Structure 1
Amino acid sequence: MKTQVAIIGAGPSGLLLGHLLCQAGVDCVVVERAAPDYVLGRIRAGVLETVTTDLMTRLGIDARMKAEGLVEAGFNLATNDRLIRIDITALTGKHVTVYGQTELTRDLMDAAPGRGLEIVYEAGDVALHEIEGDSPFVTYVKDGATQRLDCAYIAGCDGFHGPSRKAIPAHAVREFERVYPFGWLGILADVPPCHDELIYANTDAGFALASMRSKTRSRYYIQVPLTDRVEDWSEDLLWDELAARFDPISEHGVTRGRALEMSIAPLRSYVFETMRHGRLFLAGDSAHIVPPTGAKGLNLAASDVAYLSDALVGALKQGDDAGLDGYQAKALARIWKAERFSWSLTKLMHRFPEDGAFEHRMQAAELDYLASSTAMQTAIAENYVGLPL
């Protein structure tokens, strides 16, 4: 089988890229190791910047997002007893949209057959070949038979654990990492949110987040040590902890319900700067990971895809390689700014094990200054709503 662009991974970044290329008349095939239900089972981000919603609108796959997504004009930073509202619309003229990554992925999947986007699911043993030459190809096993996909370029959109990044030889690798000494214990439940906008809270007991996927589905997190396991926490114990942190400061109070999902996610900041090697280009989580503080992961993937799709269309439709040559530098400039924001917000809102009374006083002083500084609130709002492409 032959195509112009082989896309590895059918998560949001791979599907977005596939749709954008198809819309521009570029042939592509998406290769995904998992089944569709497994891909949709990855419960992750839910706050979309305008860069992401604009791409969905550009594709004409935005009807359900516009009907069901929650337009948010602000969000809140909090201490034990105080809310500091960041009015992002007043400060930037923009907003964010709360719409789950699962729902966005479902929309892209559902639109694929009608748009001519071919997706090969349950492709085993995916491997990349000849990425440094002029004729790269991908092999995979489907229904017990090895298949070969020849292409002009490969887009690695297969996440942190996929084969794309691993195909880059060690001598070409440039990577940077910061692993945080805690994780987030999360619970998803069909209950109304405790507040109409997200709350990121720095409490004496540690960080907590109150967020939502809709007006009837809530997502909560609390900071836990890396030694904790999900089995250490009953649903009642977690709801007790959430109520203690959010009932005093939220508008509606925490409503309890049966957990649809509970999990613990470790936190890291990671950048793989080798986003291009030969005919292979990385996008999304295959090239970078951000802490979920600030909701940058999916949105960074979308900006990568915006840059990469334009570059591939320029090379394949106009014979202009300038976009491909500049892709890595352009993407990394935005990635590092988003990494800085997520890192700084994580540092401000979490209790680090090594911190003492002095560091806690510094956090309190910064939050107190933030509460009265329009300039500081504007800087946070600009980063939260998404820096321009």
Structure 2
Amino acid sequence: MRETGRRIFMAGGGTGGHLYPGLAVAEAIRRLQPEAAIAFSCTRRPIDRKVLAGCGFPVTPIDARPFRTAPWTWPILAVSLVHSGNQARRRFREFCPDVVLGLGGYGSYVPVRVGQKYGAATAVLNPDIVPGRANRRLARWSDRIFCQFEETVRLFGEGARLTGCPVRPSLLACTRDEGRQAFGLDAARRTLLVTGASLGARTVNRAVVAMLRRHGLPEGWQVLHLTGDGEYEEVSASYREFSVPAVVRPYAEKMGLACAVADLAVARAGASTIAELLAAAVPAVFMPYPFHRDQHQMRQARAVEAAGAAVVVEDRPDDPGTWGRLADTVMALMTDGGRLEGMRESARAAGRPEAAEGVARQVLELADGVTRRRHAKIESETAAARRDVDTAARAPYTRLGDADG
């Protein structure tokens, strides 16, 4: 039996930055409409299982593969499109979604397209300033595109909405004391948070380690370094080579605890990282990922820098001076409390902690529209069936053989 609430399906994955905003929207929908049914699909990457484990929503992995321009990858892509399309169709026959919300990344493309063919409303979360391949293709058929930057709204035009990037309420519910206790940090010290987001960032890790090895920390500061799983052993070993008050972890299950305790962050400039730091009012030094062809992280970081909430240091992996530029910037900020406080206020003004609820309300509006259309179609078909019955009842009775006479 179908639940009385709306049915929302969320599709995406490949990084935590694609999934965390979706979880934030799912939690907001559940608060606004407790009877709503919500389900996810994701890729088969380990990070997807890690992020969605214990989320409380049904999760279906699909055999999605990223789009590649190299022709030799096309046969493999074609096979994966067929497999993932069949998986999405089977899931939708069971779930019957009113709305399919694409969370970005190659894992969103097939479920959103299948949802469109099944008569569901479709929407796309696009928190990056430059849309990725999947979102560019999906936007032309989507009912709504939710954006974090005004530049992106102008690019998409009709259907685009400036909502901000959704962040989870738990991110903002954590207190400073809870963060210190969770990580075993010194309550008498300020904290420099270092993070490369859910997958870690090798060049950020190495630049920070080089900076600390050469300069140490100003008096009264400590480091909380989230390395990413693949970098943990190497980075933690490096910290043992010099004396700096630091806590090194591979990953934070509750990023809100890390943001709550941070006085300054060194981070990549992914869309979700930016949204979380702004919502938590954490000043940042951004080292944007340098290898994206469209340089979207650099453009995002510059937008936040223009708002006064961050400083950008270019990550040049082949330039040994990168860590020196990072050191100059970070040390100057850590020893200038007034500037840090000004950046914190700018971050607070630029943040959109209400983004998840805003997106959730619009998704439920789309679901209501689908329900009204389906009801109208059923009523129209029922009325047509009644007319056919009435016409048959009024038709004169003809005995077999009368027509021959």
Larger fraction in strand: 1
Higher relative contact order structure (alpha carbons within 8 Å, sequence separation ≥ 6): 1
Same fold (TM over 0.5): no
What range describes the TM-score normalised by the shorter chain of this pair? 0.3 to 0.5
Q: Normalising to structure 1: TM-score of the pair? A: 0.36
Which structure shows the higher helix fraction? 2
